[in-house]
Structures are given as structure tokens and as C-alpha cells.
């Protein structure tokens, strides 16, 4: 692994963790805890993105008691799809970023629903579980309720993550973008 990648990944993971502070201040019903993963995958490729996602989930788990570690699989899926989006210039405009974000949100939500249902028996983050409980009381089965709440949350979250990463990549000074070949390809600059 190159020194540049070894310098980039811990910082990207730290962004994943620190962005929670911003989201809490804004009081938005989002996580945005994959910004660093998507950015690294777009800049340095799928492997770097996967490593960022797994390290991110490991460190978060260390802080919060390892119960959320199984969601590392969602980070891996997001990293792979973000790298694919970057390869196809998916960050060239706000519209393409939002489109890829919705697609990734759909897939990530489905994977997340499987983990929530089978590993956590439907109980994960407070807000998502509150929606799950509401939906089960409205007559949906537990599986349907978990899927609907997970996919619903992830669609919005990943769309905003992809929009933010798109804005960042397009705002990168050429001097910095030049050091990451993925940046120019992702935005077709």
C-alpha cells in the first residue's frame, strides 16, 4: 500500500466518524457515515474504498461496543458501487450523483435490511426501529417493516452522500485532483 493511501484512509475514516457531529447539530434524520468511504472509492478505487469502509465500521464498533460490526458488509457494498459510479463518471453532475446515490441507497438498504432482520431481530438505530415498530402495528410483517424502514432511510442518506461527494470532487483544485487519477475520471474534468 502506498504512503499516500495510508495517509488518506485513516483521514477518510475519521471524516466518516466526525460527520456525525455535523448531522447531530443540524438535527437531520441521516447518518452520512459513508462519505469518507464513497470519496476514497472514487479517488483511489474499490480496494481503498473497501478498506476505508471496514476500518470505519471496526473503529465505530470499538467506540460503541462492537454490536454494529456486521454492518461492515453494507460499507463494502457501498465502496464497490461507488468505485463503479466513479469509473462511469457518475459524479460529473448533481443529477448523475443523485441517480447513483438512489441506486446505491436501494442496494445498501436491502443488504442492511437483511442484517437488521437476521442478526439484530429488527432492532437497530432508534429512529429506524421506531418506523419498523410503527409499520408492524399498521399490519406489515416484521420482514416487510424492517425492509421498508431500512430502504427508506438509506435511499435519502446515500443520495445526499453522493451529492456531497460529487460537490467535493468537482470543487477539488486541479493540483489536488491531479494526484488522484480517479477524481478526474469520476467528474470527467
Partner 1 sequence: MSDRPRLVRRAHPFTLFAVTAGVAALAFALPAPAGPIALYAVVVAAALLTGAAASARDATLVCLPLWVLLLLLHALPGDGATVALRSVVLSRAGLAVALAQAARLGAVATASLALFRSFDPSRFLDAVAVRGWSFHAAYLLVATLQAAPRFRQRAATILEAQRARGLRYGGGPLRRARALVPLALPLILGMLGEVDERAMALETRGLDARGPRTPLAPPRDRTADRVLRWGMLLLVVAACAWRWLA
Q: Which residues contact partner 1 (rule: CB under 8 A)?
A: 1-4, 6-15, 17-19, 21-22, 25-29, 32, 35, 39, 51, 55-56, 58-59, 61-67, 69, 120-123, 126, 129-130, 132-133, 136, 142, 160, 164, 167-168, 171-172, 176, 179
CB 75, min distance to partner 1, A? 14
Buried b (16+ CB within 10 A) or exposed e, 156-171: bbbbbbbbbbbebbbe
When the beta carbons of 62 and 95 are compared against partner 1, the nearer one is: 62
CB 16, min distance to partner 1, A? 9
Integer CA distances (angstroms), 125 to 55, 91, 131, 146, 179, in order: 20, 29, 10, 12, 38
CB 28, min distance to partner 1, A? 6
**CA 14 – CA 7 distance, rounded (Å):** 11
Amino acid at each position: 500500500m502506498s504512503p499516500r493511501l495510508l495517509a488518506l484512509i485513516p483521514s477518510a475514516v475519521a471524516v466518516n466518524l466526525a460527520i456525525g457531529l455535523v448531522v447531530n447539530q443540524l438535527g437531520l434524520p441521516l447518518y452520512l457515515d459513508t462519505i469518507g468511504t464513497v470519496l476514497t472509492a472514487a479517488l483511489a478505487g474499490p480496494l481503498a474504498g473497501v478498506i476505508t469502509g471496514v476500518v470505519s465500521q471496526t473503529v465505530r464498533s470499538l467506540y460503541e461496543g462492537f454490536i454494529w460490526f456486521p454492518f461492515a458488509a453494507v460499507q463494502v457494498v457501498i465502496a464497490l458501487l461507488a468505485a463503479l459510479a466513479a469509473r462511469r463518471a457518475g459524479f460529473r453532475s448533481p443529477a448523475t450523483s443523485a441517480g447513483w446515490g438512489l441506486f446505491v441507497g436501494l442496494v445498501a438498504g436491502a443488504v442492511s435490511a437483511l442484517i437488521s432482520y437476521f442478526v439484530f431481530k429488527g432492532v437497530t438505530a432508534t429512529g429506524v426501529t421506531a418506523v419498523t415498530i410503527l409499520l408492524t402495528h399498521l399490519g406489515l410483517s416484521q420482514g416487510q417493516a424492517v425492509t421498508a424502514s431500512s430502504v427508506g432511510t438509506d435511499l435519502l442518506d446515500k443520495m445526499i452522500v453522493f451529492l456531497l461527494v460529487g460537490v467535493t470532487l468537482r470543487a477539488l483544485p486541479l493540483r489536488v485532483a491531479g494526484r488522484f487519477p480517479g477524481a478526474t475520471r469520476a467528474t470527467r474534468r
